[in-house]
Structure 1
Amino acid sequence: MRDFRVLEPKSLLNYALVGSPNSGKTTLFNALTGMRAKTGNYPGVTVDRRVGSLEVDGHCVQITDLPGSYSLQAISEEEQVTSGYLRGELGDNNLDGIIFVADATSLSRSLPFLLSILNLNIPIILVCTMIDECKARGGDIDFFRLKAELGIPVVGVVGNKGLGITDLKQFFIDPHSWKTTSVPSFDSIEKRFEWADKIFNKVLRHPISESNLTRQIDRILLHPVLGLIVFLAFISIFFQSIFTWAAPAMDLFSEWVSQFANYCAAALPPGFWTNLLCDGIIRGVGAVLVFVPQIAVLFTLIFFFEASGYMARAAFVIDRLMGWAGLEGRCFISLLSSYACAVPGIMATRSIPSPRDRLATILVAPFTTCSARLPVYAVLISAFIPDATLWGPFTLQGLTLMALYLLGGVSAIVFAAIFKHGLLRGASLPFFLELPPYRFPSFKTIVVQVVDRLKVFVKDAGSVILVGSIVLWLLLNFPHHEYNDTLTKTQNKQQQIEQSYAADLGHSLEPIFDPLGFDWKINIGIIGSFAARELMISTMAQVYAVEKDADNFVGFAKVLSQEDENGVRPISFASAMSLLVFFVYALLCLSTVAVVKRETNSWRWPIFMLTYMFAVAWVASFITYRLALA
């Protein structure tokens, strides 16, 4: 039992937000605090605790959003965080009360968890979310009777519309008024569920009907064959959209970057600092930020299908395929998150209860094609794959992009199977997943989520790219080569690059990468991509595009696609295909290495990942290069 503080006016009130996954907990957290946390329809969305604050009648209220959990008997790591926090095992939390969140449409499933928390003897308030959806499905819950049966305050809200939020905030002022009734303590889970059913039957005036439309849709989406066909069609449209929808915005942004760099070059006096600003910073950073529209489309589609309820069903369908690899559906959720970025995808593996399954997922997550690879794919596909329409909206370029994504995903499953049947052999835990009802996503919520992700990309990746672009420009321009009046401007630039420190680094790697068709210029880009994969493009732009004075993304792609007077391209088709495959497999991301070290608490597995993924990338690229030459 905990001791509670005597509150003074304007004191800090500390609450924990608790609930099962898909209960609307994080949406309520956003509505209360104004903070923007990722929301979705499957376990593993909120992995770390998130803290927000608000002021109510002069009191500062702090709310901790705990990971979604089904019970205090923790299985997964995220459930251990919730259980440990509520039991006071994660430091001095000084909890004044608990805000327990339950979905009104599935209240009976949340009551057993609520009973176990009531036994902690901490002031608690029950918040029933999605009451509008409950009423729309014919349900009618007697909240006054529910309050009397539980002996605690009960509030109904609609988090995404702000309904009931004001009434809820008034309860935060005095948590000691939340009377906690004496509740039974059951040793068996069966008796706990019997108690929950008894309470639920007392307060339910009209039953909540299941939508006929939901049943009909699920007959298709959850079908062993039809569901897989729909999933493959979904993936096809998904990646086709990423490549085609963002193209106009990318071209426009690329032109703006070019015009701005030219304007600065004309307005500023010629010299070292002007060249650094225009060529190193503006064009270097701009060559990567031009892909923001593609990344925006990627995140928009992911968040839309998460919020709609389809993503959980995709995990259910793909669970059969994951089972072949010795994994379960929750692993698919982490792998799918890695398609945006491997870092949050690896962190999301905390929701996987089996340590072996979790480690296997971590080891293969970087195979999935993260958004940082998009710039490399987009440039090489635009330059070497014809923009031909094959059927309807499907183009050869879009299908090539999809093939690269699928290659990474299939490889992840194959290597997971190898690890699970060899290095990490062991029994898996049962897989269960709550299928949320279909919902039309909130446009505002999706926009907020996409903007937040883009801010993270621009801030985190942009800062690394800025430093990397400056360092790269210095390596390309030193030691300084004296300007030769007998040569053209382009020839002088090319001679400067060939005699630079960067060229020396590129040549030193030729024994390793020459069998893959990579010359010293591509090697420079690979070096830069270890800091950030996106740097590959700004590097290649500075090294290759200078030959034709191309100063934007469109011009750079054209440079790679054009032949010189001898009929030779800057990069051959075989080398380009080899480079694409290399980027599918190679672990070129220091952030991923760092997060794997943190999640495994050892350098053993990051070093193992770097080694085996480089070996796979080298062999696959070598085979691709030889086949392309044949």
Structure 2
Amino acid sequence: MAADLKIALVGNPNTGKSTLFNLLTGLNQKIGNFPGITVDKKTGFCKIGDHKTAEVVDLPGTYSLYPKSKDESIVFQILADRENRSHPDLIVLVADATNLRRNLLLYTQVADLQIPVILALNMTDMAKKEGLAIDIDQLSKNLGVQVVAISARNNIGLKELKDAIANAPTIPTQEPGTDIQVLAPEAIAAAGQLIQTTNPYFALQVLHQHSELDIYTPEQHQQLNQIAAEHNFESSKIQTAETVARYRYLGTILNGIITDTGAQKKFIMSDRIDKVLTHKVWGFAIFLLILLFVFNAIFSWSAYPMDMIEEGFARLTDLGHEHLPEGMLTDLLLDGVVAGLGGIVIFIPQIAILFALISIMEDTGYMARVTFMMDRIMRKFGLSGKSVVPMIGSLACAVPSIMSARNIENWKDRIITIMVAPLVSCSARLPVYTLLISLIIPDEKVLGFISLQALTLMGMYLISIIAAVLVAFVMKFLIKAKEKSYFIMEMPVYQKPRWNNVLLTMYEKSKTFVFEAGKVIIAISIVLWVMASYGPSDRFEKIDQKYEKIELQQDSVAISTLERDRSAEKLENSYVGILGQTIEPAIRPLGFDWKIGIALITSFAAREAFVGTMATIYSVDSADEEATTIRNKLKGATDANTGLPLFTFATGFSLMLFYAFAMQCMSTVAIVYRETKSWKWPMIQLVYMTALAYFASLIAYQLLR
């Protein structure tokens, strides 16, 4: 889509920048990477005025143009390079009206780059509730820029902002924030002449950050280093001096702009709630209760829709076998594709509930408090407080969580976070847990209202988090680094959840789960069905000859039983059966048979594939015509050696521990390689997690059997 205007949204973290982006672009957006950089880029399009279309880029949140992380460095790189595909014609700087002085520091830096700017003053409704009155017109006059009061959360001021964008000048009209020349006049002049710019602040920023910019030649980089050395250019001291000068300037700009009406003490309600929710004892107790509520909801609320989906797929399979012609294609469709896909679709209600509740916690501001509380623990185990965000994010998926570790400045903290994040149980493990829990844990209530199955699920998540923290503690001593780490986070004010956002999150995450996992599951199911339905021809011929002789001497009831025996024996002698029995000796001590072994192999592509694999294998096996659902089939599964039920408490718990600790995800291996630029770390991660999973399962099974 061709755009008439390129707009970049710039602002501090937690200013509502992404909310404004969603409001402007709606569903007309996409997520990718900045060219040549593994940092997420959100772009979208919106209508401006009567006939204009604007391309909007949501740049990473940053407190300053001086970056503290890889994500933050992108902001200046995009703004500095006029040849960059994302370089904007106009900047909309989103500022938090409740903390205007701090937010305007970034504005003054951006304005000095001499790119047209509009200041979007967000959360003005919240500022009013806190008793803050802001003179928008006078602020606009003092800064020499259009200032628009908005509330992105409540869709207030969007029309006024679009009008301002439509009427924005094509050349910068705002006045410079400070006299940059006095900071390092000789170095700035020499750098400006070298890179051919008349903008002193741009020259200053290039002196600070040219090593991060690929728009200059190696010779230019070397010359810039020489300029810095010749003129004693001390970057950290000059940054400090610049910040002090800008805050002095903002003092004059904001004089008389903000009036405290005394209507309400700022953050008084949030402060009172925080005294309870972030208490060093009660805060953790409340967090555990909230987790228990989440897991109880996952089981209780999803039971009815899951039963409907399960019965629907079972009925679909029965109808297919009744009305479709017998043959290979019908068996492939029903016992391969439908069975495998049914094993995934059934878990949509649980996935939707999980992400809805996580979205509510994020939207209300509670998840930020969890991060704050966990920082106290994390530091004792060798992790930064910033490690909490990727680890909590791993409850959803390890891949974006590992990518979010870029915000951790300390190399050691970042590597340890990347290495332990996959241990935290993600949503892909949820189908495995819930299926196995439904098999080995009775559906009973504790204290009359707490589900025993929910307590077990919560226990699996807690085990994974404890394991991640303990492994981090060990790596603290194994990985050496001299850097000091720190954690600074701004607490957002408590707010009501945006239900539209919650519903959209449920829809998007469920869709992603089905389509991303579904593609893998269907492919695996087809391959599995073929491998489970065919084997070395001489083996299948011998089995057919054996049962044909026996059938001649049996009645119809016995023949029906023999058909099931023939099916089971063929499955054991199929290609997938041969593969499973090859690895069975290694996994027998864990309580697993060869069928579970096949599921372990296929689920390396995606953990969710375990359920689809078991559904396909047991559909091909067809040991019980009445066991039409995957749970019924697994409940009826028996150990070939003992004849007893296969999925006992010992086997089920051993299998859950294996999935809790094993890597079992190709996407995670790939993203760790991409983030570390080395195969060393993903290989170490794969080996230690596999070993941890194996020995944890071995100990559990041997103790519980």
What range describes the TM-score normalised by the shorter chain of this pair? over 0.9
Q: Are the equivalent residues in 1 in contact too, given 2:92–2:118 (CA < 8 A)?
A: yes
What whole-Å deviation, never above 9, does each CA across 1:96-133 have from its counterpart, x for those lacking one? Answer: 11110012122222011111111111110000112222
Cα separation, 2, equivalents of 1:110 and 1:624: 53
Match of 2:582 among 489, 492, 508: 508
Cα separation, 2, equivalents of 1:138 and 1:567: 74
AA at the equivalent of 1:167: E
Q: Summarize the alignment of residues 15-94 of structure 1 with structure 2, pairs less than 5 Å apart.
A: 15-35=7-27, 48-56=40-48, 57-88=50-81, 91=84, 93-94=86-87
Match of 1:597 among 652, 660, 673: 673
Tell me whether 1:244 sits opposite 2:244 in the alignment. Answer: no
User: Residue 470 and residue 197 in structure 1: after superposition, are their counterparts in 2 closer, same or farther (change >3 A)?
Assistant: farther
The SS at the match of 1:209 is: coil
Cα separation, 1, equivalents of 2:451 and 2:512: 31
Quote the offset at 1:168 in angstroms: 1.2
User: Residue 440 and residue 619 in structure 1: after superposition, are their counterparts in 2 closer, same or farther (change >3 A)?
Assistant: same
The SS at the match of 2:153 is: coil
Cα separation, 2, equivalents of 1:37 and 1:558: 45
User: Residue 135 and residue 38 in structure 1: after superposition, are their counterparts in 2 closer, same or farther (change >3 A)?
Assistant: farther
AA at the equivalent of 2:281: V
AA at the equivalent of 2:145: I
Q: Summarize the alignment of residues 148-297 of structure 1 with structure 2, pairs less than 5 Å apart.
A: 148-176=141-169, 179-185=173-179, 187-206=241-260, 209-297=265-353
Tell me whether 1:551 sits opposite 2:628 in the alignment. Answer: yes
Match of 1:612 in 2: 688
What whole-Å deviation, never above 9, does each CA across 1:161-218 have from its counterpart, x for those lacking one? Answer: 3221112112333432662113214634233233334433421133573243222111
Cα separation, 2, equivalents of 1:20 and 1:596: 28
Tell me whether 1:102 sits opposite 2:178 in the alignment. Answer: no
Quote the offset at 1:232 in angstroms: 2.1
Cα separation, 1, equivalents of 2:486 and 2:344: 43
AA at the equivalent of 1:502: V
Higher mean C-alpha displacement, 250-259 vs 482-491:
482-491
Tell me whether 1:305 sits opposite 2:361 in the alignment. Answer: yes
Higher mean C-alpha displacement, 16-25 vs 175-184:
175-184
Q: Are the equivalent residues in 1 in contact too, given 2:118–2:165 (CA < 8 A)?
A: no
What whole-Å deviation, never above 9, does each CA across 1:138-172 have from its counterpart, x for those lacking one? Answer: 22111101101111100111223322111211233
Q: Are the equivalent residues in 2 in contact too, given 1:254–1:554 (CA < 8 A)?
A: no
Quote the offset at 1:60 in angstroms: 2.2
The SS at the match of 2:446 is: strand
Q: Are the equivalent residues in 2 in contact too, given 1:283–1:551 (CA < 8 A)?
A: no
Tell me whether 1:585 sits opposite 2:654 in the alignment. Answer: no
User: Residue 511 and residue 196 in structure 1: after superposition, are their counterparts in 2 closer, same or farther (change >3 A)?
Assistant: farther
Quote the offset at 1:363 in angstroms: 0.5
Q: Are the equivalent residues in 1 in contact too, given 2:295–2:458 (CA < 8 A)?
A: yes
Cα separation, 1, equivalents of 2:585 and 2:104: 65
Quote the offset at 1:428 in angstroms: 3.4
Cα separation, 1, equivalents of 2:313 and 2:167: 55
Identity of aligned residues (%): 38
Tell me whether 1:624 sits opposite 2:700 in the alignment. Answer: yes
User: Residue 428 and residue 254 in structure 1: after superposition, are their counterparts in 2 closer, same or farther (change >3 A)?
Assistant: farther
What whole-Å deviation, never above 9, does each CA across 1:546-581 have from its counterpart, x for those lacking one? Answer: 322322244235435x89998710333322221111
Cα separation, 1, equivalents of 2:647 and 2:631: 16
Higher mean C-alpha displacement, 47-56 vs 205-214:
205-214
The SS at the match of 2:152 is: coil
Q: Are the equivalent residues in 2 in contact too, given 1:243–1:294 (CA < 8 A)?
A: yes
What whole-Å deviation, never above 9, does each CA across 1:404-431 have from its counterpart, x for those lacking one? Answer: 1011011111111211222244443211
Q: Summarize the alignment of residues 319-398 of structure 1 with structure 2, pairs less than 5 Å apart.
A: 319-398=375-454
Cα separation, 2, equivalents of 1:377 and 1:201: 59
Tell me whether 1:117 sits opposite 2:117 in the alignment. Answer: no
AA at the equivalent of 2:51: G
Quote the offset at 1:249 in angstroms: 1.3
Cα separation, 1, equivalents of 2:83 and 2:283: 43
What whole-Å deviation, never above 9, does each CA across 1:214-270 have from its counterpart, x for those lacking one? Answer: 221111112222222222222222222222221221111111111112222222111
Match of 2:601 in 1: 527
Between structure 1 and structure 2, the one with the greater Rg is 2
Cα separation, 2, equivalents of 1:509 and 1:303: 42
Q: Are the equivalent residues in 2 in contact too, given 1:380–1:557 (CA < 8 A)?
A: no
Q: Which runs of 5+ in 1 are unaligned?
A: 1-9, 40-45
The SS at the match of 1:512 is: helix
Q: Are the equivalent residues in 2 in contact too, given 1:26–1:37 (CA < 8 A)?
A: no
Cα separation, 2, equivalents of 1:65 and 1:199: 27
AA at the equivalent of 1:623: I
Q: Are the equivalent residues in 1 in contact too, given 2:395–2:425 (CA < 8 A)?
A: yes
The SS at the match of 1:15 is: strand
Higher mean C-alpha displacement, 368-377 vs 533-542:
533-542
Higher mean C-alpha displacement, 290-299 vs 221-230:
221-230
Match of 1:473 among 525, 529, 532: 529
Quote the offset at 1:395 in angstroms: 2.1
Higher mean C-alpha displacement, 453-462 vs 390-399:
390-399
Quote the offset at 1:49 in angstroms: 1.6
The SS at the match of 1:50 is: strand
User: Residue 82 and residue 628 in structure 1: after superposition, are their counterparts in 2 closer, same or farther (change >3 A)?
Assistant: same
AA at the equivalent of 1:316: F
Higher mean C-alpha displacement, 563-572 vs 105-114:
563-572
The SS at the match of 1:469 is: helix
Higher mean C-alpha displacement, 619-628 vs 164-173:
164-173
The SS at the match of 1:74 is: coil
AA at the equivalent of 1:555: N
Q: Are the equivalent residues in 1 in contact too, given 2:30–2:43 (CA < 8 A)?
A: no
Match of 2:127 among 134, 144, 156: 134
Higher mean C-alpha displacement, 435-444 vs 49-58:
49-58
Q: Which runs of 5+ in 2 are unaligned?
A: 32-37, 181-240, 552-558
Q: Are the equivalent residues in 2 in contact too, given 1:578–1:625 (CA < 8 A)?
A: yes
Q: Are the equivalent residues in 1 in contact too, given 2:28–2:45 (CA < 8 A)?
A: no
Q: Are the equivalent residues in 2 in contact too, given 1:76–1:354 (CA < 8 A)?
A: no
Quote the offset at 1:604 in angstroms: 1.4
The SS at the match of 1:326 is: coil
Q: Are the equivalent residues in 1 in contact too, given 2:440–2:647 (CA < 8 A)?
A: no
Match of 1:14 in 2: 6
Cα separation, 1, equivalents of 2:383 and 2:133: 40
Cα separation, 1, equivalents of 2:82 and 2:566: 66
Cα separation, 2, equivalents of 1:27 and 1:134: 17
Equivalent residues, number = 613
Match of 2:473 in 1: 417
